């Protein structure tokens, strides 16, 4: 965890590749790391919107927000996948 906090992801992945980590695993790690930023932005926007509407912070509201975030993330992933296919990206390397 400390390594990831003080070292850019590209350097960590490059070092892992030099030590023989599978390319597919490294690509998945890179994608997940980038997507966490997208998810956190979406969650922040949803939280801000809920606060503006005066929503409470109960467990039920949080669970519903998480479900909406998951659904929106899934829909976004489907759109990204379709865009990749349309541009000739057919799957794994």
Q: Where exactly are the structural domains of the chain?
A: 2-86
Give pLDDT tens digits for 38-80: 889 988 998 888 889 888 878 888 888 889 999 988 998 889 8
The pTM assigned to this predicted structure is: 0.60
Instruction: Pick the more confident residue, 1 or 14.
Output: 14
Residue 90 has pLDDT above 70, yes or no: no
CA 35, CA 70: separation in Å to the nearest integer?
A: 13
The reported pLDDT for the residue numbered 20 is: 94
Supply the pLDDT for residue 21.
93
The predicted-structure confidence for 14-38, as pLDDT tens digits, reads as follows 999 999 999 889 988 888 888 888 8
HEC string of the chain equals: CHHHHHCCHHHHHHHHHHCCCCHHHHHHHHHHHHHHHHHHHHHHHHHHHHHHCCCCCCHHHHHHHHHHHHHHHHHHHHHHHHHHHHCCCCCCC
């Amino acid at each position: 965890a400390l390594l990831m906090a003080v070292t850019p992801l590209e350097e960590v992945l490059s070092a892992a590749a030099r030590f023989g980590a599978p390319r597919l695993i490294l690509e998945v790690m890179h994608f997940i790391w980038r997507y966490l930023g997208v998810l956190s932005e979406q969650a922040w926007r949803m939280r801000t919107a809920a606060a503006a509407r005066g929503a409470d912070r109960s467990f039920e509201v949080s669970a519903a927000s998480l479900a909406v975030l998951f659904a929106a993330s899934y829909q976004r992933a489907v759109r990204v996948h379709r865009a990749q296919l349309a541009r000739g990206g057919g799957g794994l390397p």
